[in-house]
Structure 1
Amino acid sequence: MSKQTSSKKAPGKKAPGARSAGPGGAATVPAPAAAPAPETDGSPSLELSRRRLLGTVGAAGAAGLVAGGAGGALGVSAAQTGPQDAAKAVTSIGSTEVPFRTARAGQQAGITTPLQATGHLVAFDLAPDADRRTAAALLRRWSRTAEELMAGRTPDADTGVALDAGPSSLTVTFGFGHSFFGRTGLTKRRPVQLDPLPDFSADALDAGRSNGDLWIQIGADDALVAFHALRALQKDAAGSARLRWQMNGFNRTPGATAHPMTARNLMGQIDGTNNPKPSDRDFDERIFVGRDAEQDWMHGGSYAVVRRIRMLLDDWEKRSRHEQERVIGRRKDNGAPLTGGSETTPMRLDASGPDGLPVIPANAHARIAAPESNQGAAMLRRPFSFHDGFREDGAPDAGLLFVCWQADPLRAFTQVQRKLDRGDALSRFLRHEASGLYAVPPAAEPGDYVGRPLLEG
């Protein structure tokens, strides 16, 4: 928001709209002008989109923002903001829009989009009597609703939850689970990359919170906007699909730090330093499905692996900072490798200390997960943290909603996780409690819906 400004006034004179001193020197704010009564004839021309409403807030600030139509002042006036600021529109992270049909080379939004402050991961199973035609109609409704919401517009029969908010970087991303293809008679078009993930020794998976026919990832920088999207999509599914599981997550709010930073997880560690970058020469090759894929409807799409990973924070927090850093292989304060430098300094995996032992321990998480240790295997990690209260023993039910993207899960997630499963020092502080793998097709063409080439091809 714009900063407050002030100007000097001649003695004995008041600037227009200035506050006067009340009893005891307390300032009193003049009542704002009454807002015009809203029209009630339902004319579409009188309806404001969430994005347009945000853009008009600055003008309302000159006379005082009015809530509820009955005159409940929010306390913003020209005297508080200054005459120059009063003429400026209020700007915020809420005004940021992510296009539904753009993204890199046709990929869905929510993959390379910067991390948002809040998110929902949700899976649905098709209704028992649903078929391919039912699924196509549902994806058509979902795509229409997602496009409207991401543009800051409100769909028909809206709840009004986020009526006064901007788009807030909202993204909605759709994917298909392994079981979706059997339910819709499309097993011949199921990619081999959707074969179930192998069992890992550290898994303690809850089947009721894993997999699912359809998967949706929702992200936004405003919690109400994210919930609004979740509710709208859930309503769209009525009669066609039923909720299988839902998980809610969060990240640091954009702008909370003095400059952009790699996110921290609930262990306090900087998490995502070695993520592939869109500027990398081989980024698309690693993350998105190429044209040589067996299933042409997945060209430009990606595969998402989703894991609910509970962190044993009570055990972790008993460890000294030195111990924690050796488990990870990086410094806790700035994310630099233990071999020195800054967060982005390459790890010197061959460096030894005075004792002859590796500076970065052989079982350190950063060493084992590094592409150099996995024949170049890499995935784009895009997680949310979660906290779902406390367990019966008082320990926090908290951790990471791990989401990673790759062109081939077998060569990326599965390869790295197998190695972590055999000797990662961090594993003793983690519990993998839910899992899913989803084929995420490219974005819909204008006037189309997500997944049409599969469902109607």
Structure 2
Amino acid sequence: MSKKKDAPKGNSTTPVRRDGPGTGGARAGGAGAGGARAGGAGVVSRRRLIGGAGAAGAAGLVLGAAGGAGGYAASRGEAPAALTTVGSAEALFHGKHQAGITTPLQARGHLVAFDLTPGSGRTEAAALMRRWSAVAARLMAGEPAEGGRDHDTGIALDAGPSSLTVTFGFGRTFFTRTGLTGHRPPALDPLPAFSSDHLDARRSDGDLWVQVGADDALVAFHALRALQKEAGSTARVRWQMNGFNRTPGATDRPMTARNLMGQVDGTNNPKPAESDFQERIFVPSGDSAAYAWMEGGSYAVVRRIRMLLDDWEALTVKRQEQVIGRRKADGAPLSGGSEDTAMDLDKAGPDGKLLVPGNAHARISSPEKNGGAAMLRRPFSYHDGIADDGTPDAGLLFICWQADPFRGFIPVQRKLDRGDALSPFIRHEASGLFAVPGGAASGEYVGQRLLEA
């Protein structure tokens, strides 16, 4: 039984709660790194009651539905147990925007890029996006992959949706290989070279890009595996990266995420409640019919940034704070206040020196120093092993979202490239820019407005 007929109409970035009796706090809406989680009420199983009362949350419409044991309980002939809060949270697949952009950060993530195989063109790409969208919709609802339980791998057996999101994007080369160059937007022009780049072409770019996120590692891998299988002979994996964040409930209160340098990361993100959030992050309707397919979409810049942790950890905490421009303990600016206090870039100490150093990362990247340029950062940390000399291959899978990378990421990165105090401690090793179309309406697949233009 599917809930889709009863699902609320709204933004696909809004998570749906499926909270079981006696569980802890449910996830509250929010953007990127700053999404908070609040308490929820007990409800009956999804397999016994589909639907429920709607309530307005911080990020939009939230459905007070219930959680059964994933999509498998009905075939077992037993009463489904209530899901815990983490397993019950569901992000909607259909909506104005794709999920995974303003959805609160998940504990586990997979990024994967595909290239179309020789002989695969527009027709094959459309069929692939249709298959991928169908599978993503089912998995995000906590149901088995296409074909039912007997054809599912069973990797996520017993789990609920666990805030699973699947987000699809197109790289610049996709338009050449599908004969759609006339529909390739100017914002997808190649990123310029930066002095901090040490890019590996084998782990950069790609025709198609998929972001998978979930609060359960098995649910996330299940989705990754299902999408890989559905690619069939149409597309092959170009590169794939795995990431993680703090698990929901690991702290005594909702907090902004920390990266592997121990720094609070995401404090100054744009918030959905801000009046200019939509125009900064999502592509508006435009005058050009050729690019109308991007309405409601966004552009994702993806960078694998290695952190030179041995060098970083050799610094004192005070020196680390001066490099960043914020206190390590709570993310507050060195100019004073709490994490959410606006940074006073002109405030000086008793010695006359700026409290936030002139080359501090937070100063150089601040919108005030970049003509208002802003982007929604939604990263995952990564760790890919330890070298023979003990050096960790670890860092940040940096993902930022904006309506136009030439007004978001590029001007900020150019500024950072010219004197960021953080630069000696990081290395950009892979890069990609992808056009992420708006969400699919019910009955549509992602990218349909482009591929059937």
> Which category describes the TM-score, using the shorter chain as reference length?
0.7 to 0.9
| TM-superposition CA deviations, 1:424-451 (whole Å, max 9, x none) | 0001000000000000001111111100
| TM-superposition CA deviations, 1:7-39 (whole Å, max 9, x none) | xxxxxxxxxxxxxxxxxxxxxxxxxxxxxxxxx
Superposed, 1:415-430 pairs within 5 Å as 415-430=411-426
Superposed, 1:81-120 pairs within 5 Å as 89-102=82-95, 106-120=96-110
Structure 1, unpaired ranges of 5+: 5-47, 62-88
1:49·1:154 contact (CA, 8 Å) conserved in 2? no
Instruction: Name the Cα RMSD after superposition.
Output: 2.0
Structure 2, unpaired ranges of 5+: 1-19, 24-67
1:370 CA drift (Å): 0.4
Match of 1:149, as an amino acid? L
1:95 CA drift (Å): 0.9
TM-score (norm 2): 0.82
Residue 300 of structure 2 aligns with which residue?
Answer: 304
Instruction: Pick the aligned partner of 2:354 from 345, 355, 358.
Output: 358
1:92 CA drift (Å): 2.9
Instruction: Pick the aligned partner of 1:147 from 129, 133, 137.
Output: 137
Distance 1:60 1:277 in 2: 37
| TM-superposition CA deviations, 1:366-397 (whole Å, max 9, x none) | 00000000000000000000000012432100
Instruction: Pick the aligned partner of 2:124 from 134, 155, 176.
Output: 134
User: Secondary structure of the residue that 1:425 maps to in structure 2?
Assistant: coil
Residue 114 of structure 2 aligns with which residue?
Answer: 124
Residue 226 of structure 1 aligns with which residue?
Answer: 220
Report the CA distance shift for 1:343/1:175 in structure 2 as closer, same or farther (over 3 A). same
Distance 2:385 2:124 in 1: 37
1:2 CA drift (Å): 7.4
Report the CA distance shift for 1:165/1:90 in structure 2 as closer, same or farther (over 3 A). closer
Match of 1:140, as an amino acid? R
Match of 1:230, as an amino acid? L
Instruction: Pick the aligned partner of 2:266 from 269, 272, 288.
Output: 272
Residue 188 of structure 2 aligns with which residue?
Answer: 194
Match of 2:73, as an amino acid? L
Match of 1:191, as an amino acid? P
Residue 336 of structure 2 aligns with which residue?
Answer: 340
Q: Which stretch of structure 1 is more off in the superposition, 445-454 or 388-397?
A: 388-397
1:60 CA drift (Å): 7.4
Residue 371 of structure 2 aligns with which residue?
Answer: 375
2:255 pairs with 1:261? yes
Q: Which stretch of structure 1 is more off in the superposition, 178-187 or 390-399?
A: 390-399
User: Secondary structure of the residue that 1:258 maps to in structure 2?
Assistant: coil
- Which ranges of 4 or more aligned residues in structure 1 deviate by more than 3 Å? 1-4, 51-54, 56-61
| TM-superposition CA deviations, 1:392-440 (whole Å, max 9, x none) | 4321000000000000001110000000000000010000000000000
Residue 158 of structure 1 aligns with which residue?
Answer: 152
1:255 CA drift (Å): 1.1
| TM-superposition CA deviations, 1:245-273 (whole Å, max 9, x none) | 00000000111111111000000000000
1:49·1:153 contact (CA, 8 Å) conserved in 2? no
User: Secondary structure of the residue that 2:91 maps to in structure 1?
Assistant: coil
Match of 2:127, as an amino acid? A
1:164 CA drift (Å): 1.1
Distance 2:72 2:325 in 1: 48
Superposed, 1:40-55 pairs within 5 Å as 50-51=70-71, 53=73
Instruction: Pick the aligned partner of 2:383 from 365, 368, 387.
Output: 387
User: Secondary structure of the residue that 1:436 maps to in structure 2?
Assistant: strand
User: Secondary structure of the residue that 1:423 maps to in structure 2?
Assistant: coil
* Count of aligned pairs: 384
Report the CA distance shift for 1:185/1:60 in structure 2 as closer, same or farther (over 3 A). closer
Distance 1:271 1:169 in 2: 21
Q: Which stretch of structure 1 is more off in the superposition, 253-262 or 325-334?
A: 253-262
Give the fraction of aligned pairs with identical amino acids, expressed as a percent. 68
Match of 2:88, as an amino acid? S
Report the CA distance shift for 1:300/1:198 in structure 2 as closer, same or farther (over 3 A). same
Superposed, 1:293-332 pairs within 5 Å as 294=288, 295-332=291-328
Report the CA distance shift for 1:179/1:218 in structure 2 as closer, same or farther (over 3 A). same
| TM-superposition CA deviations, 1:331-361 (whole Å, max 9, x none) | 0001110111100011110011222211110
